Amino acid sequence: EAQVTQNPRYLITVTGKKLTVTCSQNMNHEYMSWYRQDPGLGLRQIYYSMNVEVTDKGDVPEGYKVSRKEKRNFPLILESPSPNQTSLYFCASSSTGGGYTFGSGTRLTVV
Amino acid sequence: SQQGEEDPQALSIQEGENATMNCSYKTSINNLQWYRQNSGRGLVHLILIRSNEREKHSGRLRVTLDTSKKSSSLLITASRAADTASYFCATAWYSGGGADGLTFGKGTHLIIQP
């Protein structure tokens, strides 16, 4: 089944403790993106990648890192999480010019 | 930056009626896409319309695009209770290096009353 898999689905962590949210797609898509969704603010793009080793900042990249060492994986790294990064996170992938397939989301709480 | 703005923010209709949602955007686009999201779950791609297209159909969905007005509309005909969800428009722009991802509006929350 064609899908984007994110892990974990839920995560509660403490301020400053590094964490990684994994994202993997099995559709051989070139493009992958990370978004965060917050009430009243909608979905905002954090980082995107057009292919292996090619990444760029979205609208809200501060406090996040990404890497694209393999085509299928696009992990999101929070080096020192803060409470304002409490949010619902989505990974998505797309072929050139196509619609995006989204993962099921990761609900992150930073206390 | 938020590109699209959906209108209305919320819409409640009776089952069987048609639902129309509008989206306006600010800058040039390559294509415009509509997504559905059920209560905090992942987004599901519904339909994509390219900048050189004016209308597109998919099942009970009809999308129009007016690039001169920078606006799009999504029509869901013969609505069902299962259509209750939030609907988002998203614009895509491709710079010289490739896709720059999607820029979303804040969504329309659609409630279908049985």
Q: Is the pLDDT of residue B4 over 80?
A: no
| Residue B67 pLDDT | 95
Q: Is the pLDDT of residue B74 over 80?
A: yes
Give the three-state DSSP class for A46.
strand
Nearest neighbour of A90 by CB, restricted to B31, B43, B47: B43
B10 touches chain A (CB under 8 A): no
| Residue A36 pLDDT | 97
Nearest residue to A76 (alpha-carbon basis) of A104, A96, A55: A55
The residue of chain B with its CA nearest to that of A5 is B42
- Residues B61, B46: contact at Cβ < 8 Å? yes
pLDDT digits (tens, 9 = 90+) for A20-78: 999 999 999 999 999 999 988 889 999 999 899 999 999 999 999 999 999 999 999 99
CB contact under 8 A, A103 and B42: yes
pLDDT digits (tens, 9 = 90+) for B35-67: 999 987 889 999 999 999 999 999 999 999 999
* Confidence bin at B2 (pLDDT 50/70/90): very low
Q: Is the pLDDT of residue B24 over 60?
A: yes
Q: Is the pLDDT of residue B81 over 90?
A: yes
Calculate mean pLDDT across residues B30-38: 94
CA B16-B22-B24 angle, to 5 degrees, is 170
Between positions 53 and 72 of B, the ones with CB within 8 A of A are none
| Residue B5 pLDDT | 79
| Residue B99 pLDDT | 58
CB contact under 8 A, A42 and B101: no
- Residues A42, A33: contact at Cβ < 8 Å? no
Q: Is the pLDDT of residue B97 over 80?
A: no
Q: Which of A96, A100, A101 to mutate to test the interface with B (most CBs of B within 10 A)?
A: A100
